[in-house]
C-alpha cells in the first residue's frame, strides 16, 4: 500500500516554546478550540483565531509544508461543506464553519507535532486514571488513542488505493466501486489490528485481573 | 515446552450445514529450538500457529505453553509467546518504529525514560536505530518485518511464532530475516512456503487438509510435501481430462 498522508502532523522533534509547553496546556488549547468552534459566530473572529493557530504551528518549527499538507488533505471535504453552506446559509456562515473546522485541525496538529506519541499516551492514561475506581483501565484509553492515530491514515490510504484501482478499471464514477472495497478493507484492517494487539498482549486486563481470571 | 493434546478446530460457516474443520487430531510436543510448518494455502498452517498464542482457541483438546493453558491463562501464555504476522503493516500500530517498540513495553516498563532507553536498545540490537523516527510507510518491506520482529522481541518472549514471515520479502530481505532468526535464542515455530527456510529448521511439520501428515526431519518433510503437491497436481489434471 502507498504511503499515507496524515490529517494531523506527526511529531517533529524540537525545543521550541510550544514543545516545552506542558501537555495539559496543549490539551486545554485543543479543548478550547473545539469549544470555541461552537461559540464563534463571526467569520472574522474565526479567521483571526485560525491565523493565530497557524502562527503557533509555525512557531513550533514544524514548518509551512507540514501545515499546508494537513490543510490540503482537508480541502476536498471542506470545499464540499463550504459550497453546501454557502448555498444554504450564505457566504459569511460558510466561511465561519470552514474556518472553525480548520482551527480545530491546526490546534490538534500543534499538539501532535510538538508532543511525542508516548507522552501523549501517558497523558491520556493519566487523565483516565481517576476512572480506575469504576473498573476502567487507563492503558486501554491510551491504546484507543494510539489506534485512532494509526487508523486515520490507513483508511485515507486505502481510499486512495481503491480510487486508483477503480480508475484503472474505468469505474471512477461508480460510488459502489469506491465505497464497498474501502468498507471491506477497513473491517479487515480492524480485525487484523485486533489480532495483532491481542497477539502482543496489548489491551488486555492487568496482570492481577488476568491471573484472578485464570484461577477461576 | 508447547504441548497440543488431541486438538481440533472447527468453525461454523454461513451456508454450510455442518462446521468446517480447520484442524483435526493434532497431538504434538514441541521441544526443538527451530520448528517449521509447511503446507498448501488453506491447509491449516496459520490456524496451528494461532493456536499456540491463543489467537485461535481449540474446539476440543487443549494447548499448553509451559503448563499454562491457552483457554485459561491467556495472558501468561502471551507473555511467553510472541507472534509475527505475514504483513508487518497489519502488526505495527504506531506511526514510527520507536513509538511502536515503546508501545510494546508500556505494560512492562512504567517509567517513561526507562521505556525509551529500553526501546532504543532493542532498535540498536536489530540495526534499526537510524530508522527509528521514520514513518513505517517509508521503510522497505524487510525493514518493516525486522521492526515488527523487534517490537515483539522487546518484551522478551521465550517462544516466537512467525506466520509466513518471508512471503512479502525480496531475496535480499529474506536473507536478512534468515540471518536474524538464526541469531535468536528464542524457540521458533514458523510457517512458511519458503522450502529453503524450512530446511534450516530442526523439525518440520507438514500440514495437509487440516491434519499433520508428516512430522520429522526437514529434508524428509520437504520431500513429503513435494510428493503431496505432485500428487494433487496430477489428480487435478486427471479430473480435468475426465471432464
Q: How many CB pairs under 8 A join A and B?
A: 105
Q: Are residues A21 and A50 in the same domain?
A: yes
Structure confidence at residue B188 (pLDDT): 96
Question: What order do you get walking across the sheet with B68-69 strand by strand?
Answer: B20-30, B2-11, B60-65, B68-69
More confident residue, B193 or B109: B193
- Non-local CB neighbours of A144 within 8 Å, separated by 6+ positions: none
Q: Are residues A122 and A111 in the same domain?
A: no
Percent of chain A with pLDDT over 70: 89
Nearest chain B Cα distance for residue A105, angstroms: 18
Q: Are residues A105 and A132 in the same domain?
A: no
Q: Tell me which chain B residues have a C-beta less than 8 angstroms from the C-beta of A204.
A: 74-75, 78
Nearest chain A Cα distance for residue B79, angstroms: 7
Q: What is the ipTM of this complex?
A: 0.77
DSSP state string for B66-124: TTEETTT-HHHHHHHEEEE-SSGGGT--SSBHHHHHHHHHTTT--SHHHHHHHHHHHHH
Q: Tell me which chain A residues have a C-beta less than 8 angstroms from the C-beta of B57.
A: none
Instruction: Report, as an integer, the average pLDDT of A19-36.
Output: 91
Percent of chain B with pLDDT over 70: 100
Instruction: Report, as an integer, the average pLDDT of B180-196.
Output: 92
Do B138 and A3 form a contact (C-beta atoms < 8 A)? yes
Mean pLDDT for chain A? 83
Partner-chain residue, chosen from A119, A199, A204, that has the shortest CB–CB distance to B55: A199
Residue of A nearest to B149 (CA): A200
Q: Are residues A41 and A79 in the same domain?
A: yes
Structure confidence at residue A12 (pLDDT): 83
Choosing from A83, A115, A147, the residue where a domain stops is: A115
Instruction: Report, as an integer, the average pLDDT of B169-198.
Output: 90
| DSSP-derived secondary structure letter, B135 | B
Partner-chain residue, chosen from B93, B102, B112, that has the shortest CB–CB distance to A196: B93
For chain A, the straight-line distance linking the first and the last C-alpha, in angstroms and rounded, comes to 44
Q: CB distance A3–B94 less than 8 Å?
A: no
Structure confidence at residue B81 (pLDDT): 93
More confident residue, A214 or B11: B11
Q: Are residues A110 and A122 in the same domain?
A: no
Choosing from A82, A115, A148, the residue where a domain stops is: A115
Place B221 in a pLDDT band, splitting at 50, 70 and 90: very high
Choosing from A92, A115, A138, the residue where a domain stops is: A115
CA dist A192 and A150 (Å) reads: 13
Q: How far is CA B163 from the centre of its chain?
A: 3
Lowest-confidence range among A30-44, A158-172, B60-74? Answer: A158-172
Q: Are residues A102 and A131 in the same domain?
A: no
Instruction: Report, as an integer, the average pLDDT of B39-48.
Output: 93
Q: Are residues A41 and A125 in the same domain?
A: no
CA dist B240 and B243 (Å) reads: 5
Place B219 in a pLDDT band, splitting at 50, 70 and 90: very high
For chain B, the straight-line distance linking the first and the last C-alpha, in angstroms and rounded, comes to 50
Place A9 in a pLDDT band, splitting at 50, 70 and 90: low
pLDDT of A93-111, one tens digit each?
999 999 999 999 999 889 9
Partner-chain residue, chosen from B73, B104, B135, that has the shortest CB–CB distance to A3: B135
Question: B12-42: string of b/e by CB count within 10 Å (b at 16+)?
Answer: eeeeeeeeebbbbebebebeeebbbbbbbee
Q: What domain range includes position A56?
A: 1-115
Asked if pLDDT for residue A207 goes beyond 50, the answer is: no
Structure confidence at residue A58 (pLDDT): 93
Instruction: Report, as an integer, the average pLDDT of A155-168.
Output: 82
More confident residue, B150 or A172: B150
pLDDT of B87-142, one tens digit each?
888 788 887 899 899 988 888 888 888 999 999 999 998 889 999 988 888 888 88
Residue of A nearest to B83 (CA): A199
**Closest C-alpha among B228, B226, B176, B224 to residue B197:** B176
Contacts by A42-46, CB closer than 8 A, 24 or more apart = A42/A92, A42/A96, A43/A92, A43/A93, A43/A95, A43/A96, A43/A99, A46/A95, A46/A96, A46/A99, A46/A100, A46/A103
Q: Helix B97-105 crosses helix B141-153 at what angle (to 10 degrees)?
A: 20
Q: Are residues A127 and A147 in the same domain?
A: yes
Structure confidence at residue A171 (pLDDT): 79
Q: Is the pTM of this model over 0.80?
A: no
Tell me how many domains chain A contains.
Answer: 2
Asked if pLDDT for residue B62 goes beyond 90, the answer is: yes
Mean pLDDT for chain B? 90
Neighbours of A152 (CB within 10 A): 16
Asked if pLDDT for residue A213 goes beyond 50, the answer is: no
User: Of all helices (H) and strands (E), which one includes residue A59?
Assistant: helix A43-59
Structure confidence at residue A6 (pLDDT): 52
Structure confidence at residue A45 (pLDDT): 93
Structure confidence at residue A210 (pLDDT): 42
Asked if pLDDT for residue A212 goes beyond 60, the answer is: no
Place A215 in a pLDDT band, splitting at 50, 70 and 90: very low
Q: CB distance B76–A214 less than 8 Å?
A: yes
Place B224 in a pLDDT band, splitting at 50, 70 and 90: very high
* A1: Cα within 13 Å, side-chain hemisphere: 23
Structure confidence at residue A139 (pLDDT): 81
Asked if pLDDT for residue A123 goes beyond 60, the answer is: yes
And the C-alpha cell for B138? Answer: 517509508
Structure confidence at residue A208 (pLDDT): 43
Q: Are residues A16 and A64 in the same domain?
A: yes
Q: Are residues A68 and A163 in the same domain?
A: no
Structure confidence at residue A4 (pLDDT): 54
Asked if pLDDT for residue B242 goes beyond 80, the answer is: no
Q: CB distance A6–B137 less than 8 Å?
A: no
Nearest chain A Cα distance for residue B117, angstroms: 13
Multiple choice CATH, B2-242, 3.40.50.300, 3.50.50.60, 1.20.200.10, 3.40.630.40: 3.40.50.300
Lowest-confidence range among A40-54, A166-180, B14-28, B111-125? Answer: A166-180
Q: Are residues A109 and A202 in the same domain?
A: no
Q: Are residues A53 and A135 in the same domain?
A: no
Q: CB distance B135–A10 less than 8 Å?
A: yes
Amino acid at each position: 500500500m502507498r504511503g499515507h498522508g496524515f490529517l494531523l502532523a506527526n511529531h517533529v522533534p524540537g525545543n521550541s516554546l510550544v514543545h516545552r509547553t506542558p501537555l495539559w496546556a496543549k490539551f486545554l488549547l485543543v479543548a478550547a478550540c473545539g469549544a470555541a468552534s461552537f461559540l464563534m459566530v463571526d467569520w472574522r473572529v474565526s479567521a483571526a483565531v485560525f491565523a493565530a493557530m497557524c502562527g503557533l504551528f509555525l512557531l513550533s518549527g514544524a514548518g509551512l509544508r507540514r501545515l499546508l499538507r494537513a490543510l490540503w488533505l482537508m480541502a476536498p471535504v471542506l470545499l464540499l461543506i463550504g459550497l453546501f453552506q454557502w448555498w444554504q446559509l450564505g457566504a459569511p456562515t460558510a466561511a465561519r464553519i470552514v474556518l472553525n473546522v480548520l482551527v480545530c485541525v491546526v490546534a490538534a496538529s500543534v499538539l501532535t507535532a510538538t508532543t511525542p506519541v508516548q507522552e501523549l499516551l501517558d497523558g491520556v492514561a493519566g487523565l483516565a486514571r481517576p476512572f480506575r475506581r469504576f473498573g476502567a483501565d487507563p492503558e486501554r484509553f491510551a491504546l484507543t488513542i494510539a489506534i485512532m492515530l494509526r487508523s486515520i491514515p490507513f483508511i485515507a490510504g486505502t481510499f486512495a488505493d481503491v480510487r486508483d484501482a477503480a480508475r484503472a478499471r474505468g469505474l471512477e464514477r461508480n460510488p459502489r466501486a469506491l465505497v464497498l472495497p474501502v468498507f471491506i478493507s477497513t473491517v479487515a484492517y480492524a480485525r487484523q489490528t485486533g489480532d495483532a494487539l491481542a497477539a502482543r498482549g496489548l489491551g488486555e486486563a492487568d496482570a492481577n485481573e488476568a491471573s484472578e481470571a485464570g484461577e477461576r | 515446552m508447547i504441548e497440543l493434546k488431541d486438538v481440533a478446530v472447527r468453525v461454523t460457516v454461513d451456508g454450510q450445514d455442518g462446521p468446517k474443520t480447520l484442524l483435526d487430531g493434532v497431538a504434538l510436543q514441541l521441544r526443538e529450538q527451530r520448528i517449521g510448518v509447511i503446507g498448501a494455502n488453506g491447509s491449516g498452517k496459520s490456524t496451528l500457529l494461532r493456536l499456540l498464542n491463543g489467537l485461535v482457541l481449540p474446539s476440543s483438546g487443549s494447548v499448553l505453553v509451559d503448563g499454562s493453558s491457552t483457554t485459561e491463562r491467556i495472558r501468561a501464555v502471551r507473555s511467553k509467546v510472541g507472534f509475527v504476522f505475514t504483513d508487518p503493516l497489519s502488526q505495527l500500530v504506531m506511526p514510527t518504529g520507536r513509538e511502536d517498540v515503546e508501545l510494546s513495553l508500556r505494560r512492562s516498563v512504567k517509567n517513561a525514560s526507562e521505556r525509551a532507553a529500553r526501546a532504543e536498545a532493542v532498535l540498536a540490537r536489530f540495526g534499526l536505530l537510524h530508522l527509528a523516527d521514520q514513518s513505517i510507510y517509508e521503510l522497505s518491506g524487510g525493514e518493516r518485518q525486522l521492526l515488527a520482529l523487534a517490537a515483539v522481541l522487546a518484551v522478551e518472549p521465550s517462544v516466537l511464532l512467525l506466520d509466513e514471515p518471508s512471503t512479502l520479502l525480496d531475496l535480499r530481505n529474506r536473507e536478512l530475516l534468515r540471518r536474524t532468526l538464526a541469531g535468536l535464542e528464542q524457540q521458533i515455530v514458523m510457517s512458511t512456503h519458503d522450502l529453503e527456510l524450512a530446511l534450516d529448521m530442526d523439525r518440520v511439520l507438514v500440514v495437509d487438509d487440516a491434519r499433520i501428515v508428516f512430522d520429522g526431519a526437514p529434508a524428509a518433510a520437504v520431500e513429503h510435501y513435494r510428493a503431496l503437491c505432485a500428487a494433487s497436481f496430477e489428480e487435478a489434471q486427471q479430473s480435468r481430462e475426465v471432464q
